[in-house]
Structure 1
Amino acid sequence: MDSSSPVTNCGPDKTLKRIVLFIAILAGFLTPFDGSAVNIALPTIGAEFSMDAISLSWIATAYLLASALFLVPFGRLADIYGRKKIFESGIAIFAISSLLMTLVPTTGSLIAIRVLQGLGGAMIYGTSMAILTGVFPPGERGRAIGLYVSFVYFGLSLGPFLGGILTSYLGWRSIFLVNVPIGLLAVILIRLKLKGEWTESKGEPFDIIGSVLYSLSLVAVMYGFSTLPHEGAMTLVIAGLILVTIFAWYESRASYPVLNARLFSGNRVFLFSNVAALINYSATFAVTFLLSLDLQYTKGFSPEHAGLILIAQPAVMALVSTLSGRLSDQIEPGKVASAGMAITTLGLFLLVFLTESTPLWYIIMSLLILGTGFGFFTSPNTNAIMSSVQKHDYGVASGTTSTMRLLGQMLSMGFTTMLFAIYIGPVEITQEYYPAFISCLQTGFTFFTILCGAGIFFSLIRGHMRENV
């Protein structure tokens, strides 16, 4: 840790902890709010730009791909040059790109600005959890992470509701204006309240070759996967997997790797907790996207009413996450997270039976169960990951954790995009395509249920966190 570290100068006292937690909460609210609010506005955006179902999915995928590309490299850069510096820059970029989103005139510019937002998001994701973990000791870490995750889910909760209202009355562009004052407030607080810097790996070189290999492999795999079953897509996926292998080989021999492979090979808790996170997000992220379209297309709800319905899942997540975070300070986190994964599987299974005539109460009940399961999974699983590594690896571990989340989200959207291509094709979703859309939903939720069920196994075999701390 750098001698100018805020922890060194001030000590990890209550005031510092509260300031760091509040700033992290602001950033934790910002990005999920944006994502969930955009989801509810997709039909309106699609109508303005005459976008088909596949193009609509790229509004989410472009952001996720950019975030995933830069997460691990920025996590490593934060450890070398300062977590606070990268964190503050990320919030500023996110806020500026949000302002630019209100001015986009074409589909191409919309996707391009979403990529810029993803870059800012990567800088936030790769540092916020590392800063929190560095300030809060193990006995308090689960509670802090639980509060942070609760506000992440508060952002997810408010996104559909407020996004629906804003879209209905002020237009979809107004959604992005909400990010600007929140981002400005966070930057001001960082400048005024956080002195010094966190630099656990100051002076170490940055692994440029490893970063390039990492980014190229992700682009190939994720873009190829999202364009299946079109010609050439599988070639891209295979090329990406080859690059992943080369990346792993190179990193295992690098003196200062961008991603420390030993974190996976020599740390069972870290490895299987990340695998469990990847599976969980792969199985759940597309749920809101799919249900947002279902509620507005086949059920005929307005964006405002659809957002109010979708608030059920993240609202429960926010309530449960604080409880589960505290539990993970007292009970083995893996056990709590595994129970959450099982409850999530049940919620996904209920959605398999959706039809055009499914009653609203059934959808809300499924969302409440999903929210409970996800809330019990995320905080304990994150606590297990961050507590299983040493301080100098906090930045990379934070970046890796967020990468698993984003990779899972991209796999979820990639699979969904593939289903759209198979069942519907490159056309706007109109009434004649509703039966095909419902079949797409049912197939997707069946796959997600099986995947999440398999994730319970990986969550259970991670071992005990406290043996690794």
Structure 2
Amino acid sequence: MGRSLKLYVLLAATLSSFLTPFMGSSINVALPVIGREFQIDAILQTWIPTAYLLAAAMFSVPFGRLSEIKGMKRIFIYGNAIFFISSLLSALAPNAIFLIIFRLLQGIGSAMMFVTGLAILTRVYPPMERGKVIGINTAAVYVGLSLGPVLGGALTHYIGWRSIFLVTVPITLLVIFIMSRVREEWADAKGEKFDLGGSISYSTFLFLLICGFSLLPDTKASILLIGSIITASIFLWIELNNSSPVFNLRLFKNFTFTFSSLAALINYSATFGVSLLLSYYLQYIKGLTPNIAGLILVTQPVLMALVAPVAGRASDKFNPQKLAGLGMAIISVALFSLTFINPRTPLSMIFASLAVLGIGFGLFSSPNTNAIMSSVEKKYFGIASATVSTMRLIGQSFSIGIVTLILALILGRVKIAPSNFNLLLQSTHISFSVFAILCFIGIFAAMARRKESD
């Protein structure tokens, strides 16, 4: 591959990998302000990030497969265009319902961008350079997470939360321009039939699962969860009897692929809700402004961004499963420390916990992604990339769902006010306890992959 092609692809994929987490982390900081403007309760507030994650999770696998048939570059460019349009619409949203709808559209664009960006990178760079570029790409994710709280908090405080969406517009236009200069196209499954039935059943299964989980303990949740089990069964039947499935389930016969994917799911389920919980804690209980809260929250992703490239390069030389397992163990310690926060907790303790969390996440993510992508044949890079994205997005959705469930059980559907700050803090303690237990279990999933011999 030509050097210019590699650089174009790396730049475009890195910029798009920055955008998707930036939107997630920046909006979390703005949620209290959005809640006050639209006069909505804490439960509806959580649907603003959940809608984005839900749509991205639903469409990652279908677009991962479609990109293999129609072309990765094409889907990547279309995804950026959808992201561009939905960002403008979100900035103009007149109420919370419209904002949630536009966030769903933005999630679809995000899915198209993320699954193809990583797949193209893996396609262009040879195995001996793969860990390095995945580390750079992962660092871009963490830079997005880093700048999200800082820029999101500053923009919300000084200009307004709508400006968060507007700053992404020029970046998407730049990505589209860069990729339009790339002549190559990648479609390893060109001519194969697209599995529409499998795609619909897969997306429906995830929609019912995540919506049902987020609505617990409401009685509607049980109906949705039963529906998700039925559609999951239909999906499995379709995929196992399809010569050109949207998701090749036989990939899960690969020990490394299976346990790396499971570890990623557990990791994101245990960590994504941290910024939301601490945003509430810092702004409601500590009384800090969005920009100050953002500056504190930046500690975690900054350390991630510093550690991820180093861990990525290390995973080319050392066992990536061991590195990922070590990262998961460090994260567990950080999450456990956050179960003790109270109104008098010094900010230095929050900084320290977030720093440890960032180091652990940086050690985990790049080696884990390298393990997944290196465990499959080249023709499966698209679906493997989609799996990485899907595990991340489902995990993030579950993480917000756990927070939503605990808030519903402890706080209820009420606006957050000083009279119920004690219940908000109690919800925070329970959430961090659940996250710490999840991550502890994840250590065993990560370390189990060391038994892989092929």
TM-score, normalising length: structure 2: 0.99
- Output the amino acid matched with 2:206: L
Identity of aligned residues (%): 52
- Output the amino acid matched with 2:383: V
1:24 alignment counterpart: 13
State the Cα deviation string for residues 55-92 of structure 1 (Å, max 9, x = none): 00000111111111111000000000000000011011
- Output the amino acid matched with 1:144: V
SS in 1 for 2:115: helix
Aligned-residue Cα RMSD (Å) equals: 1.0
1:301 alignment counterpart: 288
Note if contact 1:25-1:151 (Cα within 8 Å) is conserved in structure 2. Answer: yes
Q: What is the rounded CA distance, in whole Å, between the counterparts of 1:13 and 1:322 in structure 2? A: 23
2:213 alignment counterpart: 225
Write out aligned runs for 1:159-238 (5 A): 159-192=148-181, 194-238=182-226
Match of 1:66 among 51, 55, 58: 55
Match of 1:415 among 402, 418, 430: 402
1:110 alignment counterpart: 99
State the Cα deviation string for residues 385-409 of structure 1 (Å, max 9, x = none): 0011111111111111100000001
1:447 alignment counterpart: 434
Are 2:203 and 1:243 aligned? Answer: no
Q: What is the rounded CA distance, in whole Å, between the counterparts of 1:234 and 1:450 in structure 2? A: 25
SS in 1 for 2:222: helix
4+ runs deviating over 6 angstroms? none
1:313 alignment counterpart: 300
Q: What is the rounded CA distance, in whole Å, between the counterparts of 1:344 and 1:69 in structure 2? A: 27
Match of 1:392 among 379, 404, 425: 379
Match of 1:371 among 341, 358, 366: 358
State the Cα deviation string for residues 216-248 of structure 1 (Å, max 9, x = none): 111111111100001121231122123213312
C-alpha deviation, 1:332, in angstroms: 1.0
Q: What is the rounded CA distance, in whole Å, between the counterparts of 1:343 and 1:80 in structure 2? A: 40
Match of 2:90 among 89, 95, 101: 101
1:358 alignment counterpart: 345
Match of 1:260 among 248, 265, 272: 248
1:4 alignment counterpart: none
Note if contact 1:280-1:408 (Cα within 8 Å) is conserved in structure 2. Answer: yes
TM-score, normalising length: structure 1: 0.95
Q: What is the rounded CA distance, in whole Å, between the counterparts of 1:15 and 1:81 in structure 2? A: 24
C-alpha deviation, 1:464, in angstroms: 6.2
Q: What is the rounded CA distance, in whole Å, between the counterparts of 2:223 and 2:79 in structure 1? A: 34
SS in 2 for 1:17: helix
Gaps of 5+ in 2: none
Note if contact 2:322-2:450 (Cα within 8 Å) is conserved in structure 1. Answer: no
Note if contact 1:72-1:399 (Cα within 8 Å) is conserved in structure 2. Answer: yes
- Output the amino acid matched with 2:342: T
Match of 2:264 among 277, 285, 288: 277
State the Cα deviation string for residues 160-193 of structure 1 (Å, max 9, x = none): 111111111111101111100000001011112x
Q: What is the rounded CA distance, in whole Å, between the counterparts of 2:121 and 2:451 in structure 1? A: 22
Note if contact 1:71-1:403 (Cα within 8 Å) is conserved in structure 2. Answer: yes
- Output the amino acid matched with 1:267: N
Note if contact 2:22-2:147 (Cα within 8 Å) is conserved in structure 1. Answer: yes
Note if contact 2:69-2:187 (Cα within 8 Å) is conserved in structure 1. Answer: yes
Q: What is the rounded CA distance, in whole Å, between the counterparts of 1:245 and 1:145 in structure 2? A: 34
Q: What is the rounded CA distance, in whole Å, between the counterparts of 2:87 and 2:364 in structure 1? A: 30
Q: What is the rounded CA distance, in whole Å, between the counterparts of 2:310 and 2:230 in structure 1? A: 42
Note if contact 2:135-2:309 (Cα within 8 Å) is conserved in structure 1. Answer: yes
- Which region of structure 1 is more displaced relative to structure 2, 379-388 or 349-358? 349-358
